[in-house]
């Protein structure tokens, strides 16, 4: 299939999205910057697309299929409900949120998240949802957030399996799916009941376990991975080993033989559940203290949210002052005063008795597992040992310098961070300037840094508006590749154009040329006007270069905490789906620029989300480790290091005292890759032994 994307601005601004776009184009997807004005049906039932390309030329092409990427808006019912309960709605029709929290509505105690606050992707919505939990935790005490639930002691597992087959049918599923699951499982040996679960999965499952006295579960639904935690919670809170279950993915059933596929999958689930052996569980004490590394906006907000939930926090900052990059930012994208907000946050953190701030301090070593970490911190010439249950990494990132565009050679060529600082220190400079130029994507979206720095388009447009308000005589030019004022920030782009800011597009093949008389006097910028297709010359008083934001010391921190970096050197998210604030190591959470460049509002939201996840662990007195984890049989290990190289979470290591590989049950994610790869079959998955894999098919075939 030949695919073409017609676009106006390519807004691949989030973590990993620019790389995704580059992969698409290198796989042959055509991108055409254009404006489509008409789509006609042709005589042979194809579609004729008529558009104007970026040179202003009229073009037409024929396609078999056209997909319209339509805009998003909140549902009328949701907006109406919001208005009825007295929430402020912004001019785009979304719920208005507050300056210091992108999830707090205009009414105290009412929070909003997801598509009702702005157009959000899945990860953004999940992050906002966790941030809401954090906000609620800060005042809803003592339950349910301060104390972890207590589980009954584990019942001895009956040798005779009693299997509860539970399914959940989502909207849009085959209406007969329930009947089919029942038909497949009802008469199988060991099955005590086949039940449909309602929307309260946890409550329904617990009730059914109680009623049927089942000791194993087969859970069938369209996204079993997402619901595993609920099934485990239901089993554990019913006094059963939480790993005595199998899942059946109903989403993958399809095509011609979907009836028999469903039957096979359900019956295989029952067969495997029959031969499950309960894995041993071990309890470790949870140290009810958090370590937050990085005292910028995100680090401080995470620390404060955790402290407000009642837990002690050690906040480590490597410089002599809290605030990080926010110290140089005048306003946020909405034009609100960032410095006031920052000062208030620093004061609140300083006064909070539960937060201990260590300035001029650096992390040196870390060991342990979720709930049970020990970290060595160096401050001046002393080393401090800290025991903590969770870690939040908020170590920030730095604006890069450049050798392009006379940077470092001419006094009036600034990076965006320097311009921001100058706005705070010397506003009169801008009151006396007549022309300003902003050059976008300096060092971002280039082969060395093939990612978008995410917030610099919004920064340039916001600053242009502010400068023109400060000095209405000033003319501002923004030289860009794509304008990425995403979501609600689009209104700034509109406002800037209405205010007279001139936007000039450039290609990397013909970047703007910056010169200066005698190298240090009057600046001159030459660019090609993409509409007139001829060179234009601007004589600015100053130039702001929107240089890339790059990770700062992340490699060292990643090494110490055993977390992964992504291809761009930022902290990688957990490879498990939909865990946007979790690192690749359990119990270690991510916030702020160290995860990916973002503006202050998104940093605060992510910081609150990380705090909510951290408190999930801190509120428990003990943590059970073990379960679906891999275990090395030392006598069989040949110390070939295959598992060390294979594990995506970097868990196995060679224990030289034992002369064999070791897998920490508190850290193993149970993906099974090392089990499959170990050439000596020295690793087993406790719940999924080779014996079980042999016995289950025999059971299905009726062979004893």
Tokens of 570: 């930022």
In this complex, which beta carbon is closest to ligand SF4, that of residue 250 or of residue 667? Answer: 667
Is residue 298 close enough to count as binding ligand SF4 by CB under 6 A? no
Provide the minimum distance between the beta carbon of 639 and ligand SF4 in the complex, in angstroms, as a whole number: 5
* Rounded CA separation 196/165 (Å): 9
In this complex, which beta carbon is closest to ligand SF4, that of residue 315 or of residue 668? Answer: 668
* Rounded CA separation 595/589 (Å): 10
* Rounded CA separation 495/92 (Å): 14
Provide the minimum distance between the beta carbon of 672 and ligand SF4 in the complex, in angstroms, as a whole number: 5
In this complex, which beta carbon is closest to ligand SF4, that of residue 78 or of residue 692? Answer: 692
In this complex, which beta carbon is closest to ligand SF4, that of residue 86 or of residue 575? Answer: 575
Among 302, 574, 642, 687, binds ligand SF4 (CB under 6 A): 642
Please tell me whether residue 154 adopts helix, strand or coil conformation.
coil
- List, in sequence order, every residue forming a beta bridge with 194; answer none if it has no partner: 165
Stretch that binds ligand SF4, among 151-159, 276-284, 507-515, 642-650 (CB under 6 A): 642-650
In this complex, which beta carbon is closest to ligand SF4, that of residue 502 or of residue 640? Answer: 640
Could you say which residues in the range 413-452 bind ligand SF4, by CB under 6 A? none
Tokens of 285: 């004490």
Stretch that binds ligand SF4, among 184-192, 473-481, 577-585, 667-675 (CB under 6 A): 667-675
Interhelix angle 122-137/297-308, rounded to 10 degrees, is 50
In this complex, which beta carbon is closest to ligand SF4, that of residue 50 or of residue 282? Answer: 282
Residue for token digits 């969770």?
390
Quote the DSSP letter at residue 380.
T
Among 202, 284, 384, 673, binds ligand SF4 (CB under 6 A): 673
Provide the minimum distance between the beta carbon of 555 and ligand SF4 in the complex, in angstroms, as a whole number: 22
* Rounded CA separation 585/703 (Å): 43
Is residue 637 close enough to count as binding ligand SF4 by CB under 6 A? yes
Provide the minimum distance between the beta carbon of 583 and ligand SF4 in the complex, in angstroms, as a whole number: 14
Residues 64-83: x/- map of binding to ligand SF4 (CB under 6 A)?
--------------------
Is residue 465 close enough to count as binding ligand SF4 by CB under 6 A? no
Is residue 329 close enough to count as binding ligand SF4 by CB under 6 A? no
Is residue 686 close enough to count as binding ligand SF4 by CB under 6 A? no
* Rounded CA separation 523/538 (Å): 8
Contacts of 307 (CB under 8 A, 6+ apart): 313, 352, 354, 355
Please tell me whether residue 431 adopts helix, strand or coil conformation.
helix
Closest CA relative to residue 248, chosen from 168, 338, 334: 168
Contacts of 586 (CB under 8 A, 6+ apart): 369, 370, 666, 667, 669
Residues 18-37: x/- map of binding to ligand SF4 (CB under 6 A)?
--------------------
Residue for token digits 């050059």?
439
Closest CA relative to residue 251, chosen from 276, 227, 230, 217: 227
Q: Are 477 and 504 in contact (CB under 8 A)?
A: yes
Provide the minimum distance between the beta carbon of 611 and ligand SF4 in the complex, in angstroms, as a whole number: 26
Is residue 314 close enough to count as binding ligand SF4 by CB under 6 A? no
Provide the minimum distance between the beta carbon of 560 and ligand SF4 in the complex, in angstroms, as a whole number: 20
In this complex, which beta carbon is closest to ligand SF4, that of residue 474 or of residue 637? Answer: 637
Provide the minimum distance between the beta carbon of 238 and ligand SF4 in the complex, in angstroms, as a whole number: 26
SS3 content of the chain, % helix, strand, coil (to 5): 30, 25, 40
- List, in sequence order, every residue forming a beta bridge with 372; answer none if it has no partner: 369
Is residue 87 close enough to count as binding ligand SF4 by CB under 6 A? no
Is residue 625 close enough to count as binding ligand SF4 by CB under 6 A? no
In this complex, which beta carbon is closest to ligand SF4, that of residue 466 or of residue 677? Answer: 677
Among 377, 588, 674, 688, binds ligand SF4 (CB under 6 A): 674
Is residue 558 close enough to count as binding ligand SF4 by CB under 6 A? no
Is residue 572 close enough to count as binding ligand SF4 by CB under 6 A? no
Distance of CA 523 to the CA centre of its chain: 41
Sign of CA dihedral 96, 100, 104, 109: negative
In this complex, which beta carbon is closest to ligand SF4, that of residue 514 or of residue 651? Answer: 651
Among 386, 452, 591, 668, binds ligand SF4 (CB under 6 A): 668
Is residue 640 close enough to count as binding ligand SF4 by CB under 6 A? yes
Among 639, 653, 655, 692, binds ligand SF4 (CB under 6 A): 639
Stretch that binds ligand SF4, among 25-33, 194-202, 375-383, 638-646 (CB under 6 A): 638-646
In this complex, which beta carbon is closest to ligand SF4, that of residue 394 or of residue 667? Answer: 667
Provide the minimum distance between the beta carbon of 687 and ligand SF4 in the complex, in angstroms, as a whole number: 11
What size, in residues, is the chain? 704
Among 303, 630, 688, 696, binds ligand SF4 (CB under 6 A): 630
Quote the DSSP letter at residue 116.
G
Is residue 698 close enough to count as binding ligand SF4 by CB under 6 A? no
Is residue 268 close enough to count as binding ligand SF4 by CB under 6 A? no
Provide the minimum distance between the beta carbon of 575 and ligand SF4 in the complex, in angstroms, as a whole number: 10
In this complex, which beta carbon is closest to ligand SF4, that of residue 569 or of residue 626? Answer: 626
Q: How many residues bind ligand SF4 (CB under 6 A)?
A: 27
> Phi and psi for 584 in degrees, rounded to 5?
-80, -5
Could you say which residues in the range 644-663 bind ligand SF4, by CB under 6 A? 646-647, 649, 651-652, 661, 663
Provide the minimum distance between the beta carbon of 660 and ligand SF4 in the complex, in angstroms, as a whole number: 6
Is residue 574 close enough to count as binding ligand SF4 by CB under 6 A? no
- Tell me the H-state helices in 624-688: 642-646, 673-677
* Rounded CA separation 579/669 (Å): 14
Is residue 670 close enough to count as binding ligand SF4 by CB under 6 A? yes
Q: Are 295 and 317 in contact (CB under 8 A)?
A: yes
Closest CA relative to residue 98, chosen from 86, 111, 85, 81: 111
Among 342, 548, 682, 688, binds ligand SF4 (CB under 6 A): 682
Provide the minimum distance between the beta carbon of 564 and ligand SF4 in the complex, in angstroms, as a whole number: 12
Contacts of 648 (CB under 8 A, 6+ apart): 575, 584, 671, 673
Stretch that binds ligand SF4, among 334-342, 537-545, 573-581, 630-638 (CB under 6 A): 630-638
Provide the minimum distance between the beta carbon of 646 and ligand SF4 in the complex, in angstroms, as a whole number: 6
Closest CA relative to residue 348, chosen from 297, 387, 388: 297
Q: How many CA atoms lie within 13 A of 681 on its CB side?
A: 3
Quote the DSSP letter at residue 101.
B
Is residue 626 close enough to count as binding ligand SF4 by CB under 6 A? no
Cβ neighbours, 10 Å, residue 83? 12
Cβ neighbours, 10 Å, residue 193? 16
Interhelix angle 338-351/297-308, rounded to 10 degrees, is 40
First to last CA, the chain: 50
Cβ neighbours, 10 Å, residue 253? 23
* Rounded CA separation 408/215 (Å): 70
Is residue 676 close enough to count as binding ligand SF4 by CB under 6 A? no
Chain residues that interact with ligand SF4, rule: CB under 6 A: 630, 632, 637-643, 646-647, 649, 651-652, 661, 663, 668-674, 678, 680, 682-683
């Amino acid at each position: 299939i030949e695919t073409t994307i017609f676009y106006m601005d390519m807004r691949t601004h989030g973590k990993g999205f620019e790389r995704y776009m580059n992969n698409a184009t290198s796989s042959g997807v055509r991108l055409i910057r254009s404006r489509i004005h008409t789509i006609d049906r042709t005589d042979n039932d194809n579609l004729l697309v008529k558009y104007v390309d970026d040179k202003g030329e009229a073009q037409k092409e024929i396609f078999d299929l056209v997909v319209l990427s339509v805009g998003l808006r909140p549902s009328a019912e949701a907006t109406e409900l919001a208005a009825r309960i007295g929430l402020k709605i912004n001019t785009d029709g979304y719920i208005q949120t507050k300056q210091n929290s992108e999830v707090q509505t205009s009414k105290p105690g009412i929070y909003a998240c997801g598509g009702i606050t702005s157009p959000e992707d899945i990860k953004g919505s999940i992050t906002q949802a966790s941030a809401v939990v954090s906000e609620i935790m800060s005042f809803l005490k003592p339950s349910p957030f301060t104390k972890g639930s207590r589980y009954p002691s584990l019942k001895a597992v009956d040798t005779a399996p009693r299997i509860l087959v539970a399914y959940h049918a989502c909207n849009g599923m085959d209406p007969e799916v329930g009947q089919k699951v029942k038909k497949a499982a009802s008469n199988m040996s060991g099955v005590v009941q086949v039940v449909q679960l309602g929307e309260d999965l946890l409550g329904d499952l617990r009730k059914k376990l109680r009623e049927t006295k089942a000791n194993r579960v087969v859970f069938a639904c369209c996204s079993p991975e997402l619901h595993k935690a609920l099934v485990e919670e239901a089993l554990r809170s019913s006094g059963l080993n939480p790993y005595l279950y199998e899942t059946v993915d109903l989403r993958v059933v399809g095509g011609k033989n979907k009836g028999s596929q469903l039957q096979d999958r359900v019956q295989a689930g029952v067969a495997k559940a029959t031969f499950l052996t309960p894995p041993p569980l071990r309890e470790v004490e949870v140290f009810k203290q958090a370590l937050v590394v990085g005292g910028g906006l995100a680090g401080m907000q995470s620390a404060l949210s955790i402290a407000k939930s009642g837990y002690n926090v050690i906040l480590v900052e490597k410089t002599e002052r809290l605030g990080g990059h926010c110290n140089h930012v005048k306003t946020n994208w909405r034009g609100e005063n960032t410095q006031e907000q920052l000062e208030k946050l620093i004061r609140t953190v300083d006064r909070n008795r539960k937060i201990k701030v260590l300035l001029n301090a650096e992390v040196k070593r870390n060991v342990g597992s979720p709930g049970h970490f020990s970290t060595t911190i160096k401050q001046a010439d002393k080393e401090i040992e800290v025991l903590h249950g969770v870690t939040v990494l908020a170590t920030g990132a730095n604006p890069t310098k450049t050798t392009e565009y006379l940077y470092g050679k001419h006094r009036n060529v600034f990076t965006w961070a320097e311009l921001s600082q100058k706005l705070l220190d010397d506003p009169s400079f801008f009151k006396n300037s007549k022309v300003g130029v902003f050059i976008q994507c300096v060092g971002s979206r280039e082969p060395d840094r093939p990612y978008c720095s995410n917030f610099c388009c919004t920064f340039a447009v916001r600053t242009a508006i502010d400068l023109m308000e400060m000095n209405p005589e000033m003319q501002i030019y923004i030289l860009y590749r794509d304008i990425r004022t995403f979501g609600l920030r689009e209104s700034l782009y509109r406002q800037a154009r209405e205010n007279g800011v001139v936007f000039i597009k450039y290609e990397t093949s013909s970047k703007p040329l910056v010169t200066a008389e005698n190298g240090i006097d009057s600046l001159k910028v030459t660019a090609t006007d993409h509409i007139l297709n001829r060179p234009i010359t601007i004589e600015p008083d100053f130039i702001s270069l929107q240089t890339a934001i790059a990770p700062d010391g992340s490699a060292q921190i990643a090494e110490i905490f055993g977390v992964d970096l992504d291809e761009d050197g930022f902290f990688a998210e957990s490879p498990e789906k939909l865990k946007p604030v979790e690192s690749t190591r359990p119990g270690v959470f991510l916030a702020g620029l160290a995860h990916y460049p973002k503006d202050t509002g998104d940093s605060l939201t992510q910081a609150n989300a990380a705090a909510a996840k951290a408190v999930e662990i801190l509120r428990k007195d003990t943590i059970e480790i073990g379960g679906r984890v891999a275990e090395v049989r030392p006598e069989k290990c040949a110390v070939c290091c295959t598992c060390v190289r294979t594990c995506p979470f970097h868990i196995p290591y060679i224990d030289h005292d034992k002369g064999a590989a070791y897998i920490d049950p508190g850290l193993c994610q149970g993906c099974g890759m090392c089990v499959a790869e170990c050439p000596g079959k020295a690793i087993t998955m406790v719940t999924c032994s080779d014996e079980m894999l042999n016995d289950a098919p025999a059971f299905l075939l009726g062979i004893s």
